[in-house]
Amino acid sequence: MSSREKILSAIRSLTLESKALPDIPNFSNSGDLVERFTQSISGNKGEVLSKGELEEWFSSSGFSKVISRSSQFSELATLSLPEDPHALETLEVAILDGQFGVAENGAIWLEDRQLGLRALPFATEHLVIVLDRNLLEDTMHQGYEKIAAAHSGFGLFLAGPSKTADIEQSLVIGAQGAKSLRVVLI
Amino acid sequence: MTHPENAAEFLKDSQKAKWHDETLWFVRDKRDKVSKGIPEWEQLRELASGIKDNVLANLADYLEEFERNATKNGIIVHWAADSEEHNRLVLEILQQQNCTAVVKSKSILTEECHLNPYLEKHGVEVVDTDLGERIVQFLNQPPSHIVLPAIHLKKGEISELFHEKLNTEKGNEDPAYLTQAARVHLREKFFAAKVAITGVNFGIAETGEFIVCTNEGNADMGVHLAQVHIACMGIEKILPRRKDLGVFLRLLARSATGQPITNYNSHFRSPSPGKEIHIILVDNGRTAQLAREKFRNSLKCIRCGACMNTCPIYRRSGGFSYNSTVPGPIGSILSPGLDLKKHSSLPFASTLCGSCTDVCPVKINIHEQLYEWRQEVTKTQGEFAKGLAMKLASGIFKSPLAYKISGSLMRNALKSLPNSLIYHPLNSWGKNRNLPDAPKESFQQWYRKNRS
Amino acid sequence: MKANSPSVALFIPCYVDQFYPQVGIATLELLEKLGCKVTYPSGQTCCGQPLANAGYARDTVGTATHFIETFNDYDYVVCPSGSCTLHVKEHFPAIAGLEKEQEALGHKIYELIEFITDVLKIEKLEGKFPHRVGFHSSCHGQRGLHLSSGSELNQPPYNKARKLLENLAGLEWVELSRTDECCGFGGTFAVTEEALSIQMGKDRLADHLEHKTEILTGGDMSCIMHLQGIATRSKQELKFLHLAEILNQSLS
């Protein structure tokens, strides 16, 4: 007998009382979505800013390796998306469009379509996500409702920069992935 | 060594023990605060528990549904009955790829299967990429906590370690500096690895996708740069529907560290063009636990670690005191199912205070299961249990009480033990604690005189 | 006493009977002051918890049978211990032939404070107790019997003992840093995990001392016996009283 058969028949040999799958109520919160989303992002150690503020940051930083997949900031790109993700090793900034955000925790949904290369939001040194302020959901429940039927090979709820507290519980931003997250609400 | 011996050892460094207690209490306190910001928190726990009940009641069907959908999406599904088979499957995939160095993100399952030593024995270098796990790997230690692997170490120790391993400045203990050094080191490994291994937080039957959550982004750094992704998943990690994730992702990080969500929550449904995703579904004692009615719902665990953070024992004895892959309260009800003899002291490493049960996001009745495991241990583990009864007798229930209790209680318990043992001079109660002063009469005597 | 007062049987835990008769007396007198007809059924022994928690629940059938029979003829059973009450309610082995009596017992046994607030429906007691009182929340009372809200749960805060105590004139309630952490007694745990048990007890005491507790009280004498044992050994200036003693004294 294969292990598959062994495992499945071991489970099926048990008499297990049937338990109904509960329905999930549509929980919702009160409060302004933009305000709550902004608070959530800063709690996750990211930053919400305006288009102008981003441009200001950009012009003062002098980045030379920038990939932009957002039509809002196509003029900031200095590189096009490579075929091999290993070419992202020294990438300074990636700019992406987010599909929608979740106010309760700042999570932003991204799929293959936005990413181009799955490694992009992780390998880049700084990450910028452009998000329509009218596309904010209240909680994760509404978020999953929105992507219920969506079919992408890879999808991601991204809520902040790479961070760790593995050394004495001291929070450090910029562990293995992106060192910063800026969300531009338009 | 038994848990009491390890705990006594841990407490000898009283300053560090105090730090350990306070640090984990702080994490629990954050969890309390953030959970109170969600009005439907208790309802979410109830839902999560109900969903997991349904999963366990229909596990075989959900596993098949998952397999069907994952296969349709181009994921290669494997099944492993035990840890040996799991390890062998991983090695075979690596050998097919001619891969001799892998990066691995946090996976308690691979710890449970002792994958690292197995792969190393077969000439494969394994780099654990979670910062905490990399630290303990450098020290040849297992993680001491399932979410905070290096919580038993102070930054001074890590600074010394990194000086030796990563050539950081001697004496520089700045966590930001040390983390940056690890970043450089680990990114080099990510960009060189052909195969990446991850654990799995949730597998979705309805879609055949699986979800991996991290804060560091290390799982994603590994898999998206590698040619092949191997995901190792315990069979109990299945959820029926994609929307169930709404419930579980709201609970997981809040319970674990008090943050509203982990920063990266990746949903893997099919490989990138030209790449491979393998998933290994592992039993390794889980169907046996499913068969144990009283202990079945320990399989609901989503490995958030909240029971460890809240446990007054764990906080004061450290993860290693449990000598089990999953330490703390949840480990103390999972491990006896794997090896009752080895882990016989764990169900007793608790005051049954019940705090673990109340923080558990999937409402596992952990402290009640600890109580039930005690009943099992005493049936088969004569020696240890006798020792307990002896200590019990020689402690607080020392004369005159043992004599005074007229029912069959004490006599029953102690009938097999010689009096010389029961009244052994060693008195654990009195080592650091006074006994109450003996009153001149008992309540019974007073009552007879004054009320009847 | 009212003619139609319910009959209350006192269940005095074995260690209270032996070591703390004054707690039994205070419980009895307090209930009498509150108008109850109280009896202490003779021949009562122990609930069997020490054995059951040590893994020998199967050896407590005789004790449990005896217990059910002893307390069968009363309207209520009241016990000055949350832990023993919880054991009777939840951890008695099933006794063949006494199913109905056992079920009834589970519903009519109360811990002292919950009996006062939930059965006698007393909202406040008129009395005075001019002291700084620190409350030790016993785990079985809180998380088992729900005598107070737990810090782990998202629920409106409440505390049945606090409600009664705070009404006493002059009483100052001590706010602790960790309101409901276990003291480390845990029955057999106190001796099998001696080092941990002591450390947990010391930490609880430190919290009380830091917040200037004068009298440490609680609903479970077992926790207090453990804490008092450590405090006495380390010569700490703290007094210890059971809730029954405070309430009974303040009403006299």
Decide the pairing of beta strands C172-173 and C215-218. unpaired
Domain segments of chain C as ranges: 7-119, 132-251
Which of 317-346 (B) contact C at CB < 8 A? 317
Average pLDDT over residues A60-76: 95
Neighbouring C-beta atoms of residue C43, cutoff 10 Å = 10
Is the Cβ pair B434, C229 closer than 8 Å? yes
Whether A23 is in a domain gets the answer no
Q: Scanning every residue of chain A, which has its alpha carbon at the shortest distance from the alpha carbon of B131?
A: A166
User: Tell me: the pLDDT tens digits for B231-280?
Assistant: 999 999 999 999 999 999 999 999 999 999 999 999 999 999 999 999 99
Task: Round to whole Å and give the CA distance between B29 and C180.
Answer: 12
- State the Cα–Cα distance between residues A184 and C101, nearest whole angstrom: 68
Is A6 a member of any domain? Answer: no
Given a cut of 70, whether residue C238 has pLDDT beyond it is yes
**Is residue B289, in this structure, part of any structural domain at all?**
no
CA distance B112 to B114: 6
* pLDDT tier at B402, thresholds 50, 70, 90: very low
Instruction: State yes or no: ipTM above 0.85.
Output: yes
Tokens of B192: 């060189």
* Cα atoms found within 13 Å of the Cα of residue B248, Cβ hemisphere only: 27
Planar angle of CA B344, B133, B226, nearest 5 degrees: 125
Residue B421 — pLDDT band, cuts 50, 70, 90?
very low
pLDDT at residue number B387: 55
Q: Could you give the C-alpha distances from C90 to B299, C52, C64, in angstroms and in order?
A: 23, 11, 12
Residue C8 backbone dihedrals phi, psi, to 5 degrees: -110, 125
Q: Which helix (H) or strand (E) holds C9?
A: strand C7-10
Amino acid residing at B13 = D
Q: Which two tokens stand for residue C73?
A: 């003829």
Buried (b) or exposed (e) across B298-332, using 16+ Cβ within 10 A?
Answer: bbbbbbbbbbbbbbbbbbbbbbbbbbbbbbbbbbb
Q: Are residues B42 and B154 in the same domain?
A: yes
pLDDT, mean of residues A24-47: 94
Q: Averaged over A161-172, what is the pLDDT?
A: 96
Yes or no, beta carbons of B433 and C62 under 8 Å apart: no
> Would you say A120 and B272 are in contact if contact means Cβ atoms under 8 Å apart?
no
Range with lowest mean pLDDT among A75-79, B322-326, C50-54: C50-54
| C-beta separation of B378 from B345 below 8 A | no
Residue B419 has pLDDT above 60, yes or no: no
Q: Is residue A92 part of a domain?
A: yes
Beta-strand ranges (E) seen in B215-275 are 228-234, 238-239, 264-268
Q: Give the separation between CA C91 and CA B250, rounded to whole angstroms.
A: 34
Average pLDDT value over all residues in chain B: 91
Q: What per-residue confidence (pLDDT) applies to B399?
A: 39
The tokens of C229 are what?
């044992």
| Domain extent for B118 | 38-284
What CATH number does the domain located at C132-251 have? Answer: 3.40.50
Residue B122's SS3 state is coil
**Phi and psi angles of residue B189, each rounded to the nearest 5 degrees, phi first:** -65, -40
Mark whether B325 and B399 lie in a shared domain: no
Shortest CA gap B246–chain C (Å): 19
The residues, ordered by sequence, that sit 6+ positions from A167 with a Cβ below 8 Å of its Cβ are B131, B135, B150, B155, B158, B175, B178, B179
Q: Which two tokens stand for residue B25?
A: 């209490």
Is the distance from CB of B304 to CB of B255 less than 8 angstroms? Answer: yes
Q: Which of B380, B407, B437 is the last residue of a domain?
A: B380
CA atoms of A167 and B176, how far apart (whole Å): 9
Of C95, C22, C18, nearest to C58 by C-alpha is C95
**Inter-residue contact C216 to C134 (CB < 8 Å):** yes
Residues of A in contact with B264 (CB under 8 A): 122, 156-159, 162, 177
Full domain range(s) for residue A144: 29-185
Q: What is the DSSP string of B402-445?
A: HHH--SSHHHHHHTTS-HHHHT-S--TTTSSSPPPPPPSS-HHH
Predicted local confidence at residue B388, as pLDDT: 55
Confidence of residue A30 (pLDDT cuts 50, 70, 90): confident
Chains B, A in contact: 3+ Cβ pairs under 8 A? yes
The C-alpha of A56 sits at a distance from chain B's nearest C-alpha, in angstroms, of: 26
B249 and B278 in a single domain? The answer is yes
Cα separation, A7 vs A1, whole angstroms: 10
With CA atoms as reference, report the closest residue to C135 among C207, C184, C198.
C207
> Which residues have C-beta within 8 Å of that of residue B286, sequence separation ≥ 6?
B234, B235, B236, B299
Residue B25 near residue C178 (C-beta atoms within 8 A): yes
- In 3-state terms, what secondary structure has residue B278? strand
Mean pLDDT along residues A138-158? 95
pLDDT (average), residues B140-164:
97
CATH number at residue B54: 3.40.50.10420
In a domain, A19, yes or no: no
Dihedral (CA of B217, B222, B224, B230) sign: negative
Nearest of C67, B135, C136, B179 to residue A165 by alpha carbon: B179
Which amino acid, one-letter code, is at C17? D
The pLDDT value given to residue B389: 54
Q: Give the pLDDT mean for B150-172.
A: 97
Instruction: Tell me the average pLDDT across B373-394.
Output: 67
Tokens 């407490």 sit on residue: B11
Distance separating alpha carbons of residues B79 and A10, to the nearest angstrom? 13
Of chain B, the percentage scoring pLDDT greater than 70 comes to 90
* Half-sphere exposure at residue B145, Cβ-oriented, CA atoms within 13 angstroms: 29
Residue B425 has pLDDT above 70, yes or no: no
pLDDT value at position A25?
A: 95
Are B89 and B223 members of one domain? yes
Crossing angle (nearest 10°) for helices C21-33 and C243-251: 50
Could you tell me if B360 and B273 lie in one domain? no
Please give the average per-residue pLDDT across C178-190, as a whole number.
94
The alpha carbon of residue B253 is apart from the nearest alpha carbon of chain C, in Å, by 16
Query: CB distance B412–C62 less than 8 Å?
Result: yes
Q: Are residues B276 and B422 both part of a single domain?
A: no
Q: CB B216 to CB A162 under 8 A?
A: yes
Distance CA B451, CA C11 (A): 15
- Order of strands across the sheet with B195-198? B76-80, B276-282, B228-234, B195-198, B101-104, B125-128
Together in a domain, B313 and B391: no
Residue B397 Rama label (left phi>0; alpha psi -120 to 50; beta)? alpha
**pLDDT the model gives residue B420:** 36
Same domain? B256 vs B190: yes
The CATH number assigned to the domain holding A52 equals 3.40.50.10420
Number of domains in chain B: 3
Contact across the interface for B391 and C14, Cβ inside 8 Å: no
CA dihedral B32, B38, B41, B43 (to 10 degrees): 170
Q: Does residue B291 sit within a domain?
A: no
User: Coil, strand or helix: which one is B232?
Assistant: strand
Tell me the residue ranges of DSSP E strands in B133-260: 195-198, 202-204, 210-214, 228-234, 238-239
Give me B201's structure tokens. 């937080």
Q: Which of C66, C187, C200 shows the shortest C-beta gap to B407?
A: C66
Q: Is the CB of residue B360 less than 8 Å from the CB of residue B367?
A: no
> In the numeric block, which tokens belong to residue C58?
């199967």
Please indicate if any CB of chain C lies within 8 Å of the CB of B425. no
Q: Which candidate from B310, B434, B442 shows the least CB-CB separation from C21?
A: B442
pLDDT at residue B244, as a whole number: 98
Interface touch B175/A170, C-beta < 8 Å: yes
* Residue C98 confidence class, pLDDT cut points 50, 70, 90: very high
How many domains, in total, are found in chain A?
1
Asked if residue B312 belongs to a domain, the reply is: yes
What size, in residues, is chain A?
Answer: 186
